[in-house]
Structure 1
Amino acid sequence: MTGLVHRDLAGGIATLTLDSPPNRNALSVRLLGELSDGLRWALDEPESRVIVLTATGHVFCSGADIKEQRTSPTQQGAPVTASFPGVLELIWESPKPVICRLNGTARAGGLGLVASCDFAIAPLTASFAFTEVRLGVAPAMISVPVLRRLSSRAAAEYLLTGEVFDAARAAEIGLLSAAVPPEELDETVARYAEMLMKGGPEALAITKRLVREVPAMPFSAGLQRMTELSAERFTSDEGQEGIAAYMEKRPPKWVPPSSEG
């Protein structure tokens, strides 16, 4: 039996590829299980610095496997509901930056994967839609990451109407980091990954948390905590190495040779 999620590690980049094109990379119980295992592998692998999530075919992910849920009603709630939130949380909480390389269209639950990643790059030919309401269901689980990306106006427009929108609009409302011509997709993903490889691993993990947590902090308390954190980072081994490298005009030890410059 061939796997539905392939793993690859090269140059510090761990790539997870959804490979279930017959059902448009739908979120079946099996695919979610393999994706969860793949994410844990990428997180535990010492040589992995950046994680890239992508897919085969013309569709990145069509959302829930409706056929599987319909034919296995007794299993619908337990396996899928138990594993999908876990996958979203693994991506969202990953201390390693996660880039979503969309090979094409995404719908419904697939957009939960997109929104959970730190970066999302798609070809301009891709389209998107939150189709749940048109099936009489709700975009419940994916709303947790999605509503952290979209403005309230954009969220109401697309989650309530189920309207299809293009990649340019997805970038405009914050669902994507960038929408590029198809021939520039790999180059753009590689550029993001290369920039991330220049950051200290600890510093990247901490900064990921800052982006999400600091806006919710009371102003005075936030300044106090961030002053403490700043001092901690300047005296940390990683911080000291970064400063020494800057003064000596050399790359820090964590930067691989391919990312220098």
Structure 2
Amino acid sequence: MSTPFVLVERSGPSARVTLDRPERRNPLSLQMMREATAAIRDLGDDPDCGVVVLTGSGPALSAGHEISEMVDRTLTQEREVFTTCVQLMETIQAIRQPVIAEVQGHAIAAGCQLVATCDLAVAVDTARFGTPGVKIGLFCSTPMVAVSRSIGRKRAMQMLLTGETIDAATAVDWGLVNEAVPEGHLRFRVDELALQIADSSPLTLEIGKQAFYRQIDLPQDEAYREMAETMATNAVTCDAQEGMSAFLEKRAPQWRGE
């Protein structure tokens, strides 16, 4: 029986999913991606989980795909690798809870894609980020999808075409991560952020997360039409009515998740 590559830890309203092959810098092998997808999907169905944190063991979040799985393979086998990767990324954005990337070390290639895919990201100030596939003849085309949507065309193309890494401060400046903090402060800051988010209505967070990804690539007029309807239907939910009433009455709201 194979050793699990992904660990799940619960702490209050949040759950931490840890990629756990530190000796290999947490490569996104087929087993790793399938385990991570299953863990995140299960947490997405857990009513007691309010926030998911995605992190890794050892010196890197992830160094990207397991290259040894991609040499001397058929086209069908190569497709399986990238289809499985896409399923992981889509699951992160599909679950109702916000997902925070806790980047304790370098995030390279598909590891950088993970960071760009998560709803929020906090990194240690020594982390580095890159999409260096071009240097080994394999352009980072799937990481490009998430990275280009996070940092824009010119900056993404710079990373993709040169294969050079950027430091944590640049990643913050470019919008790839939200914050860069000293190593000893990373988990504290992520837990603090998770608790702050989990204090809101879980239904409202779900509505907002889904709405964000629906509208982000729409033309502005279409986005406004869709979001106006989304806000209207959100406003008549029990939690929204409770939240607005609590605001007017100067008291803490009591969320019901409906």
Q: TM-score, normalised by structure 1?
A: 0.90
Cα pair distance change 1:63/1:225, threshold 3 Å:
closer
Equivalences for 1:1-261 in 2 at 5 Å?
1-70=2-71, 73-74=73-74, 76-254=77-255
Contact 2:131 2:143 in 1 (8 A): no
Question: 2 CA distance for matches of 1:79 and 1:228?
Answer: 38
Contact 1:25 1:60 in 2 (8 A): yes
Contact 1:49 1:201 in 2 (8 A): yes
DSSP 3-state at the match of 2:97: coil
Tell me the amino acid that sits aligned with residue 22 of structure 2.
P
Task: State the shift of 1:150 in Å.
Answer: 1.1
Task: State the shift of 1:39 in Å.
Answer: 0.8
Contact 2:144 2:156 in 1 (8 A): no
Contact 1:8 1:16 in 2 (8 A): yes
Aligned residues: 254
Contact 2:13 2:195 in 1 (8 A): no
Question: 1 CA distance for matches of 2:225 and 2:85?
Answer: 37
Question: 2 CA distance for matches of 1:179 and 1:69?
Answer: 33
DSSP 3-state at the match of 1:142: helix
Cα pair distance change 1:219/1:157, threshold 3 Å:
closer
Question: 2 CA distance for matches of 1:197 and 1:19?
Answer: 26
- Tell me what 1:258 maps to: none
Cα pair distance change 1:76/1:219, threshold 3 Å:
closer
Contact 1:5 1:17 in 2 (8 A): yes
Moved over 6 A (4+): none
Over aligned residues, Cα RMSD in angstroms? Answer: 1.9
CA deviations over 1:185-219 (Å, ceiling 9, x no partner): 11221221122112222221222233334354444
Unaligned 5+ segments in structure 1 are 256-261
Tell me the amino acid that sits aligned with residue 118 of structure 1.
D
Task: State the shift of 1:115 in Å.
Answer: 0.7
Residues 79-88 or 201-210, more deviating:
201-210
Task: State the shift of 1:101 in Å.
Answer: 0.2
Contact 2:21 2:27 in 1 (8 A): yes
Task: State the shift of 1:221 in Å.
Answer: 4.5
Tell me the amino acid that sits aligned with residue 108 of structure 1.
A
Question: 1 CA distance for matches of 2:220 and 2:24?
Answer: 48
Task: State the shift of 1:114 in Å.
Answer: 0.7
Cα pair distance change 1:223/1:21, threshold 3 Å:
closer
Tell me the amino acid that sits aligned with residue 234 of structure 1.
A
Question: 2 CA distance for matches of 1:56 and 1:217?
Answer: 37
Contact 1:198 1:254 in 2 (8 A): no
Give the % identical residues: 34
CA deviations over 1:4-50 (Å, ceiling 9, x no partner): 10012221101100001121100111111111111111111111110
